[in-house]
Chain A
Amino acid sequence: MQIYEVGQVTGYIRQLMDYDELLVDLWVHGDVSNFTRSTSGHLYFTLKDGQGQLRCALFRSSQRRLGVELANGLSVLVHGRVSFYEAQGSCQLYADAVQPEGVGLLYLQFEALRAKLEAEGLFAPERKRSLPNYPRRIGLVTSPTGAVVHDFLNIVSRRYPLVEILLAPSAVQGEAAPPEVIAALENLNHYHLTRKPLDLIVIARGGGSMEDLSAFNHEGLARAIFASTVPVVSAIGHETDYTIADYVADLRAPTPSAAAELVTPNVLDCRMQLADLRRRLMRGMQDRLQEGESGLDRARTRLERHSPAAEIDVRRRAVDDLIDRGHRTLAHHLQMTREMVRGSGLRLEALSPLQTLHRGYSLSENRTKGILVRSYRSVELGDLLEIRVSDGSISSTTTGTTEAQDTGHEAVEVQP
């Protein structure tokens, strides 16, 4: 008989439990007791009913899927796996979802599928693709009859008629729906790859009961959406309805009408933006022109600074200065000359004939004719002469004239 260490036994038990298909994925119904929250944020409680109890741990990382506020005495459904906690030697339910009691099987299936696909990364936020602002071609998967397709087309036509809609008809209810929607998705993707590119695909279905919408909680459909090359927008049921398709889709629209608005810009907004762009275009051009103009002004100023006109101005001013100086010099000279002339007058006086008379010369004036006598010819017989000498004058009458022999002039005979 072999002897085992405790750890070997507990390890073996744990291995057994971890390989058990039932224990790794199950829903358990029971009442909450011994509920505690650890300082690290993990929740611990015991799930029990009249026959037994089970320790449960809900780690912090799983608590976003806590569908109910836990409290002692609360009757709940817990999903998770049962394993052996070797350190305490006890079984433990490692919970990853808690729902209030009373939800149906459909819901549990939904939750299970959601948990599975989420774990696979089908809902990963980083996988969500963005949609173009101005789509050219939209694939539409919906029933070709009914209000949904009409509403959708009406809204798109009103908002953004530039787009092209490619309708891939499909049943959207009942057992036929999942395979038909999958086929439509594949068909559209094929078209996208071989014909003309599609910007996005909308899967639309109007409101209905949870059973009606269950076609969109289909695993195969979820995987088809995930596999779509073209981004997918889900628009299923009413605002409060969530389907697996909504989680996988790149964008969830609350309703088909909302989808039509979400995937298209509004033509009125486009026009307003265009008007704004036109204004910016005009302003941009005006600014460039203004820049050019002020550049031109600057160049003109610089050019003027180097223009000959300035040089000419400088020279003109020099010439003016010279002229001024000329005037001033001339005036000065005139003044000088005037003063010199005045001085000369004084000297002239010294040269006056009176001085000569003093020396014995006389000056004769023909009183009859009123002229100074310079020549005997200016005197006729009988003319009265006034002969001035230094100290007076002698009045005489002409009695004859004689030309001087040596000079060829006649001497004047004067009779006092």
Chain B
Amino acid sequence: MPASQVAIHKKAVKSSFESKESQWSSRIINLFFCALSILFIIPLLLVISISFTDEKTLLQSGYHLIPEKFSLEAYSLIFKSPGVLLNAYGITILVTVIGTVVGLFLTSLTAYTISRKDYRYRRIMTLYVFFTTLFSGGLVPFYIMITQYLHLKDTIWALIVPYLLNPFYILVMKGFMDKTPMEVIESGKIDGASEWRIFFIIVLPLTLPALVTIGLFISFQYWNDWWLGLLFIDNQHLIPLQLMLYRVMSTIEYLSNNISSVNVSVDMTQFPSLSARMAMAVLAAGPMMIVFPMLQRFFVSGLTVGSVKG
């Protein structure tokens, strides 16, 4: 049944339920979700509110959901010397772009070979790829491999290479590609097209929805990653966004703890650390909080295929 038909069908079923009683229950459930939504949003509001509150007010009366005294001080402080933030953004964008393009290519290539029913090494290849999700060497051998043998420590590649090929994404992609009719590939072969040509000209365009979904997953993973940075990056200029945020948090913690313990007379109110760190979080997470939810439906379409038994 085509999607539009299903929708009409569903609607018909829904309307047949619409007795008085069910309308009421539906309303109550809706109210419940509204309350829940507010609960879910409050933590985000709190962070935003702190970032817009005057530092002195924060120190005197603590954090509130609505700024007691509105101030842009924190943001202007960050924008006065945006170098660190911009550099981190640059690194993260670079890593995300390269990682997504290369990762997407490798993922679809691998998924394609194991989706080809006539490929002789299909089963062993599938096992080879998915066994790694069941058993792994753990953190230390991986760490030693990257640092001692591949010599990627403190290079941008340390932030990219480890996430290039995720078995789960291969599985999802294979699920899409399984739907490509064998006849299409056969006809390409008869026309004398090479395997590469078939892959690029015939198969990839057919799997465009999957490419979008998986591309989104991959870029999301790169964008939000701090793990690889934490493990492999010491170089100040290569710090990605999320790691920078973590460092800001621990540095401010460190500074404020030490200032109070050594009793140096630094007026903490002059240095908007409380609001500035929240402003930093808003600036780092904000843009993606708007972009990713807009692409929500692609996340969902990927998941439904991924959960199909493969």
- A and B associate in one complex: no
The residues of B with any CB-CB pair to A shorter than 8 Å are none
The residues of A with any CB-CB pair to B shorter than 8 Å are none
